[in-house]
Structure 1
Amino acid sequence: MIVQEEYRDKNRFLYGESMGGAVALLLHKKDPSFWNGAVLVAPMCKISEKVKPHPLVVNLLTRVEEIIPKWKIVPTKDVIDSAFKDPVKREEIRHNKLIYQDKPRLKTALEMLRTSMSLEDSLHEVTLPFFVLHGEADMVTDPEVSRVLYEKASSRDKTIKLYPGMWHGLTSGEPDENVEIVFADIIAWLENHTENGDNASSIHAFNNGVVRLVTAAAASPENVSRKEEPRQMQSYRRYFCGLKGRCLQHHSAM
């Protein structure tokens, strides 16, 4: 898009959730000066000590990965049950045929492990402004991972927000009132880092450091009822489809 004159002088931000957060950091490392900032939602940029496999296990699996790369032999818990709090949204995701729901294949799992371990060793090389968000009740990626990123990154402009009671799927698996809080904070951070900064209005005050939210809605799955989507949250979602709601899709002349 940067070759198009309309967007040539626009700021460029990375956005990644979970493993996508790791991909975003890898893109930053590839060209540190290209990106103006990053929003990282529950990023998988380090393997928690609680779940890190023993070196002997990794060594054994590495020896056979070229022989049985597609075997689904890596034991994993049900990520959908662990990531999405809202029971209605959880079932919608579970019945989505486009989502892979089986155990990861051996080579895929090892590549994810290698990527996370590589990032863990180079977190000090992160220099771009970033906003990292994590649910304190996340059972998929440990919130401690985001704390380590915040502490080790060399960025001078960095903020971490921890949402009590929220799970892994901050933008898609939480009750609507929680999703609204998260999107409002993300958009406010983005606008504070662009020419629209004067118009930013996050639900919670920002500072250049660790923020633990104590007012975030932490509705339990049992008490969640599905209501009509708030108009404000619809506008948050449209924001990510384009600049201020304007779709940024371009069709090929072919």
Structure 2
Amino acid sequence: MPHSLISTFRPPPLHPLRRRRSPGNSDFPTKSPNLKIMAKKKAIEGVSDQMNAIASQNLDHAPARRRVRLAFTQVQEQLDHVLFKMAPPGIRTEEWFEMNSKGQEIFCKSWLPKPGVRIKAAVCFVHGYGDTCTFFFEGIAKRIAASGYGVYAIDHPGFGLSEGLHGYVPNFNDIVDNVTEQYTKIKGRPEVRGMPRFLLGQSMGGAVALKVHLKEQREWDGVVLVAPMCKISEEMKPPEPLQKVLIFLSRLMPKAKLVPAKDLAELAFRDPQKRKLADYNVISYSDQTRLKTAVELLNATNELESQVEKVSSPLLILHGAADKVTDANISKFLYEKAASKDKTLKLYDGSYHCILEGESDERIFEVLDDITGWLDSHCSVR
């Protein structure tokens, strides 16, 4: 995920409840806080030593992640990626924090069409494991908003700019409940109140979106899933004896980073130039998976696998046919088993996991057009 070549920008401390609106770039103060450097990370090409030092902070806690994000915001916007270079102009954005029922500050963001364009519906995004809604999704959201949608996104607790230990999922249902809680508030915002509302879930976010739908069967007008993690294939699951060991260890040291993690950029991004930009997603969680997190992800997919026949929402599933991170056959499984009478499966030949970020420009626009076309047809049905 991307960033750029500004080497002199320094991050300020971020007031936890400060709002930022656009259009127009905010002017941030340039006084840097003391940086706590963690174990050396892979250097980001094209930025200064100072910026690499900023990116190498310990990101366990939200204040550090917020500082790093601010330092790299302008860098990201200048990256040589179609989502940034061809972002539609005039999109209105807003950022804010909401306190959830567990007392955590949750980062929220919206993208609205330019003034004078009628909003057709609300699209609520659910990001994947380790990710944030402030990087590539910025460009994705602007494209969807330019088609007449109010797009909303949140960072899950422990990820992105939201509070919580980085990469730690003590209970998968806490993520599901937080999504429900935050989007219940957002659906009441005056600009989209009473309008159709859709969930858009990517990768792990697809599993979260499905579980949200299953808890609120009548609350959503449709669910769009991009390379969803709704079942772990047998080839990817740890052997059963190892699963038992992981479960046991997760009770003793749940936050420990002991589950091996691969650099997934090569598997997720087919375009080698776009793959290089993954390093610029500086607040993503790319360390070894925490024990309890691994167990929660495994349990969530096992549970979801047993419930897919209850999925009743209008459904659009999009998946790269050559995806080695989440198996396209699992999307076929979901498509075949879901009870939804209105369901569509689109497989993209040769495409990898990140079909909205890591493919050719033409494929990225094709997938975005498939999403907005499906949304348009389901707004008119209502």
TM-score by length of 2: 0.50
Matched residue type, 1:35: W
Q: Within the alignment, does 1:191 sit opposite 2:379 as a pair?
A: no
- Structure 2 counterpart of 1:26, from 200, 211, 215: 211
Matched with 1:10 is 195
Separation in 2 of the partners of 1:55 and 1:174? 35
> Does the 8 Å CA contact 2:224/2:317 hold for their aligned counterparts?
yes
Structure 1 residue 5 displacement after superposition? 4.2
Aligned to 1:7, the other structure's residue is in SS state coil
Separation in 1 of the partners of 2:329 and 2:197? 27
Matched with 2:243 is 58
Q: Report Cα offsets for 1:206-238 as digits up to 9, x if no partner.
A: xxxxxxxxxxxxxxxxxxxxxxxxxxxxxxxxx
Aligned to 2:265, the other structure's residue is in SS state helix
Matches within 5 A, 1:111-122: 111-122=296-307
Matched with 2:312 is 127
> Does the 8 Å CA contact 2:355/2:363 hold for their aligned counterparts?
yes
> Does the 8 Å CA contact 1:11/1:35 hold for their aligned counterparts?
yes
Q: Within the alignment, does 1:79 sit opposite 2:264 as a pair?
A: yes
Matches within 5 A, 1:163-182: 163-182=348-367
Separation in 2 of the partners of 1:193 and 1:125? 21
Structure 1 residue 196 displacement after superposition? 8.2
Moved more, 50-59 or 107-116: 50-59
Aligned to 1:28, the other structure's residue is in SS state helix
Aligned to 2:251, the other structure's residue is in SS state coil
Q: Percent identity?
A: 47
Aligned to 2:194, the other structure's residue is in SS state coil
Separation in 2 of the partners of 1:166 and 1:86? 10
Separation in 2 of the partners of 1:112 and 1:92? 27
Q: Within the alignment, does 1:47 sit opposite 2:232 as a pair?
A: yes
> Does the 8 Å CA contact 2:261/2:287 hold for their aligned counterparts?
no
Matched residue type, 2:193: R
Moved more, 151-160 or 52-61: 52-61
Where does structure 1 lack aligned partners over 5 or more consecutive residues?
Answer: 198-254
Separation in 1 of the partners of 2:381 and 2:357? 26
> Does the 8 Å CA contact 1:21/1:44 hold for their aligned counterparts?
yes
Matched residue type, 2:270: K
> Does the 8 Å CA contact 1:93/1:99 hold for their aligned counterparts?
no
Separation in 2 of the partners of 1:105 and 1:29? 27
Separation in 1 of the partners of 2:380 and 2:318? 23
TM-score by length of 1: 0.74
Matched residue type, 2:269: F
Matched with 1:67 is 252
Separation in 2 of the partners of 1:77 and 1:136? 21
Matches within 5 A, 1:166-245: 166-195=351-380
Separation in 2 of the partners of 1:96 and 1:44? 21
Q: RMSD of the alignment, in Å?
A: 1.5
Structure 1 residue 58 displacement after superposition? 1.0
> Does the 8 Å CA contact 1:16/1:23 hold for their aligned counterparts?
yes
Separation in 2 of the partners of 1:167 and 1:59? 31
Matched residue type, 1:104: T
> Does the 8 Å CA contact 2:227/2:317 hold for their aligned counterparts?
yes
Separation in 2 of the partners of 1:12 and 1:59? 40
Separation in 1 of the partners of 2:240 and 2:280? 36
| CA distance 1:196–1:187, shift in 2 (3 Å) | farther
> Does the 8 Å CA contact 1:18/1:141 hold for their aligned counterparts?
yes
Separation in 2 of the partners of 1:87 and 1:196? 40
Matched with 2:276 is 91
Query: Using CA pairs below 8 Å that are at least 6 residues apart, which structure has the higher relative contact order?
Result: 1
Structure 1 residue 66 displacement after superposition? 2.0
Separation in 2 of the partners of 1:70 and 1:79? 22
Q: Report Cα offsets for 1:98-139 as digits up to 9, x if no partner.
A: 112222111111111111111001101100001001101101
Q: Report Cα offsets for 1:128-172 as digits up to 9, x if no partner.
A: 001001101101001011000001100000010110000000101
